[in-house]
């Protein structure tokens, strides 16, 4: 319904404002305003008609938003991506909201400096990165897409050449330089927004009835704003020991590696490994090692012991991706290991997490 309404409004605006449809006499190619359908087809056929990496290279400030919705057998789903960068302030932002039925998750991370902001739902928190390294998020996402073609990534790659041969109806507003092109194929209504001189694609919409929609928006220049907030509640490091232990004779062993997905480096003196025992429903920490100690063996009054080991491997001096840990104990019963973040004064996981 929205697609039909939008197309109707576009046609109505064309009828009312006849001057918007009048091309300049003697114009050629993308000099015409609005574009001739043949010129638009030529533009859409170009390999870089809509290339996010080209946009990222040309614009210090860039934001791309996409919304994909579907409805299948009464089940509604929506995925929204909002990715932005500001090269001058060395900040980038990645937000994603996923709705399936009545359940929604909505998160955002702003990073690039030693202080980071993290949004979970409607609440903002302060994070930290001991080795801040600004990067262009659009380049990072493109690299991830190449390495993990089946990963959950924003749908920024759009092949406009597949639309080049459609029959386009084009209207424009000379004051704003906005042009709107509409067309239909066998399955979809397609709407393309162009801005500027020469025209640049700043919006793509596709509609398949009321069941499936895709909307993409591009924003550049001063309209792109990314700001860090101060004085927010602190959030702990985004890594927790969730691996299941193995049994080696009478010893319980946890081991693992800090994954590449952890994007920040942390001062290891701010983190603690804890051995936790639960008895009669009550959990308590019985042994602990501050991570920067790297190795420790704690013997309890009952003769049981806990051994902690941390191997600081790829980036010495920081708790970072690639680091290894091993925790062992001869204790029995209901056992857990967990990390306590002293900077945030919170557990990252485990039975003592409040």
- For residue 103, what are the β-bridge partners? 100
Residue 174, number of CB atoms within 10 A of its CB: 13
Q: What average pLDDT does this structure show over 237-265?
A: 93
- Looking only at the bridges linking them, the beta strands covering 123-128 and 115-120 are antiparallel
State the pLDDT confidence band at 12, using cuts at 50, 70 and 90: very low
Query: What pLDDT, on a 0 to 100 scale, did the predictor assign at position 114?
Result: 96
Q: What average pLDDT does this structure show over 24-34?
A: 70
Indicate if the pLDDT at residue 214 is higher than 60: yes
Pick the closest to residue 83 from 69, 67, 95 (CA basis): 95
What sign does the dihedral 235-239-242-248 (CA atoms) show?
negative
Torsions phi, psi for 160 (to 5 deg): -70, -20
Among 25-34, 112-121, 147-156, 313-322, the minimum mean pLDDT is found in 25-34
Specify the fold of 2-223.
outer membrane lipoprotein receptor (LolB), chain A (2.50.20)
Report the half-sphere exposure of 278 (CA within 13 A, side-chain side): 10
State the pLDDT confidence band at 193, using cuts at 50, 70 and 90: very high
Query: What pLDDT, on a 0 to 100 scale, did the predictor assign at position 349?
Result: 94
Query: What pLDDT, on a 0 to 100 scale, did the predictor assign at position 2?
Result: 36
Number of H helices, E strands in the chain: 4, 20
| Burial class of residue 340 (count of CB atoms within 10 Å of its CB; 0-12, 13-18, 19+) | buried
Indicate if the pLDDT at residue 22 is higher than 50: no
Pick the closest to residue 33 from 191, 160, 218, 176 (CA basis): 176
Pick the closest to residue 325 from 350, 294, 348, 293 (CA basis): 294
Q: What ranges make up the beta strands (E) of 221-292?
A: 246-248, 251-257, 271-279, 282-290
Secondary structure (DSSP) of 84-153 = EEETTTTEEEEEEEEEETTEEEEEEEEESSSEEEEEETTEEEEEE-SS-----HHHHHHHHHHH-TTS--
Query: What pLDDT, on a 0 to 100 scale, did the predictor assign at position 295?
Result: 98
Question: Structure tokens of 148?
Answer: 């993990």
Q: Tell me if 261 sits within 8 A of 152, measured CB to CB.
A: no
pTM for the model = 0.84
Pick the closest to residue 172 from 17, 352, 351 (CA basis): 17
φ/ψ region of 55 (left if φ > 0, alpha if ψ in -120 to 50, else beta) reads alpha
How far is it, in rounded angstroms, from Cα 233 to Cα 228? 13
Indicate if the pLDDT at residue 26 is higher than 80: no
State the pLDDT confidence band at 144, using cuts at 50, 70 and 90: confident
Query: What pLDDT, on a 0 to 100 scale, did the predictor assign at position 72?
Result: 82
Q: Tell me if 214 sits within 8 A of 67, measured CB to CB.
A: yes
State the pLDDT confidence band at 1, using cuts at 50, 70 and 90: very low
């Amino acid at each position: 319904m929205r697609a039909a309404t939008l197309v109707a409004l576009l046609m109505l605006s064309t009828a009312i404002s006849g001057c918007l449809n009048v091309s300049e006499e003697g114009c050629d190619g993308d000099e015409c305003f609005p574009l001739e359908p043949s010129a638009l087809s030529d533009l859409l056929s170009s390999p870089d008609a809509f290339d996010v990496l080209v946009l990222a290279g040309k614009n210090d400030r860039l934001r791309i938003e996409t919304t994909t919705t579907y409805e299948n057998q009464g089940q509604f789903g929506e995925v929204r991506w909002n990715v932005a960068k500001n090269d001058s302030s060395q900040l980038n932002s990645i937000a994603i909201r996923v709705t399936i039925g009545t359940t929604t998750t909505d998160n955002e991370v702003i990073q690039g400096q030693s202080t980071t902001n993290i949004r979970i739902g409607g609440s903002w928190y302060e994070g930290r990165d001991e080795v801040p390294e600004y990067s262009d998020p659009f380049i990072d996402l493109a690299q991830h897409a190449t390495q993990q073609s089946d990963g959950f990534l924003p749908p920024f790659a759009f092949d406009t050449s597949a639309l080049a041969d459609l029959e386009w109806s084009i209207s424009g507003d000379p004051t704003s330089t906005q042009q709107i092109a509409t067309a239909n194929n066998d399955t979809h209504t397609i709407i393309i927004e162009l801005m500027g001189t020469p025209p640049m694609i700043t919006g793509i919409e596709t509609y398949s009835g009321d069941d499936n929609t895709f909307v993409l928006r591009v924003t550049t220049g001063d309209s792109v704003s990314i700001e860090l907030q101060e004085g927010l509640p602190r959030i702990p490091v985004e890594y927790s020991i969730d691996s299941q232990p193995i049994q080696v004779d009478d010893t319980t062993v946890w081991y693992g590696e800090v994954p590449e997905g952890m994007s920040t480096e942390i001062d290891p003196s701010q983190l603690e490994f804890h051995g936790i025992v639960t008895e009669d429903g009550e959990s308590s920490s019985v042994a602990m090692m501050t991570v920067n100690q790297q190795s420790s063996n704690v013997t309890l009054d009952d003769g049981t012991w806990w051994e902690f080991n941390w191997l600081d491997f790829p980036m010495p001096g920081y708790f970072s991706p690639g680091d290894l840990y091993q925790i062992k104990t001869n204790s029995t019963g209901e056992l857990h290991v967990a990390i306590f973040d002293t900077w945030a004064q919170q557990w990252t996981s485990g039975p003592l997490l409040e």
